[in-house]
Amino acid sequence: MKQLDISIAFFRSGILGYGGGPSSIPLVHKEVVDTFKWMDSDEFGDVLALANALPGPINTKMAGYIGYRVGGVVGMLNAILSSILPSIILLIVLLTTLNAYKDQPWVAGMTKAVVPVVGVMLGTLTWDFIKKSTKSTLGWKWTIVFVVASVILMELLNVHPAIIILGLLIGALVKKDKKKEEGKKERSSA
Partner 1 sequence: MIYIQIFLALFIPGILGYGGGPSSIPLVENEVVDRYHWMTVNEFSEVLAMANTLPGPIATKMAGYIGYDQAGILGAVVGVFATVAPSLILMIGLLGLLMKYKESPQVKRLTIVVRPIIAVLLGVMTFDFFFSSYEGEGLWQTLFLGVVAYILMQKLKVHPAYVIAGSLVYGGLVLA
Q: Which of residues 66-85 bind partner 1 (CB under 8 A)?
A: 68, 76, 80, 83-84
Comparing CB distances to partner 1, the nearer of 100 and 166 is 166
Largest CA distance in the chain: 63
Neighbours of 143 (CB within 10 A): 18
Q: Could you tell me the smallest distance in angstroms from the CB atom of residue 99 to partner 1?
A: 9
Q: Which of residues 103-132 bind partner 1 (CB under 8 A)?
A: 105-126, 129-130, 132
90 and 98 in contact (C-beta within 8 Å)?
A: no
User: What secondary structure does DSSP assign to 40-104, as a single string?
Assistant: -HHHHHHHHHHHHTS-S-HHHHHHHHHHHHHHHHHHHHHHHHHHHHHHHHHHHHHHHHHHHTTTS
Comparing CB distances to partner 1, the nearer of 1 and 115 is 115
Q: Could you tell me the smallest distance in angstroms from the CB atom of residue 33 to partner 1?
A: 19
Dist CA 23 CA 18 (whole Å): 7
Comparing CB distances to partner 1, the nearer of 1 and 174 is 174
Q: Could you tell me the smallest distance in angstroms from the CB atom of residue 148 to partner 1?
A: 9
Q: Which of residues 9-28 bind partner 1 (CB under 8 A)?
A: 14-22, 24
28 and 36 in contact (C-beta within 8 Å)?
A: no
Q: Could you tell me the smallest distance in angstroms from the CB atom of residue 6 to partner 1?
A: 15
Q: Could you tell me which of 51, 38, 33 has the C-alpha nearest to residue 190?
A: 51
Q: Of the listed pieces 1-9, 32-40, 98-106, which binds partner 1 according to CB under 8 A? A: 98-106
Q: Which of residues 136-155 bind partner 1 (CB under 8 A)?
A: 136-138, 143, 146-147, 150-151, 154-155
